[in-house]
Amino acid sequence: MGKVTTLPAQNCIYYRFGFCVYEETLNPGFDVESRCLVLMELEEKYDHLLSQADNFDLNQDQVHKIWVSRFGENVMWEDFCRAYMPRSRDDDRCSSLFGNACIKLFPECGGRCPHYMPERC
């Protein structure tokens, strides 16, 4: 019997660089396993800083100053993730970022599936 092959799905609206964003589109943020490592790390550090601010009764300005002294005004994504790739020269957000998630942590698209939805031309 011949091998069953699936048709390519590069034109599916859920297709991103070989990965599938279907589940994330249905339930944004639900799958914590696919969260961007940089955002997760920064969120953890910021939460820690806020809890310290609470303990030491720091105001917002002081918290901001501490944050900037530790991480600078602009966070260097590449310091936190080796797979980071900027979108363009003017946009330093990672090209793999989808909402707060990382496309590279989604399942790979194995070709047209029951959720396949071609883009309208």
Least separation, in Å, of the C-beta of 62 and ligand SF4? Answer: 29
CB of 35 to ligand SF4, least distance (A): 8
Binding stretches for ligand SF4 (CB under 6 A): 9, 12, 14-15, 20, 22, 36-38, 77, 81, 83-84, 94, 96-97, 102, 104, 109, 112-113, 115-116
The residue among 50 and 117 lying less far from ligand SF4, judged by its C-beta, is 117
What separation in angstroms does the CA of 43 have from each of 15, 50, 52, 100?
Answer: 28, 10, 14, 11
Can you list the alpha helix ranges (DSSP code H) found in the chain? 22-26, 37-55, 60-71, 77-80
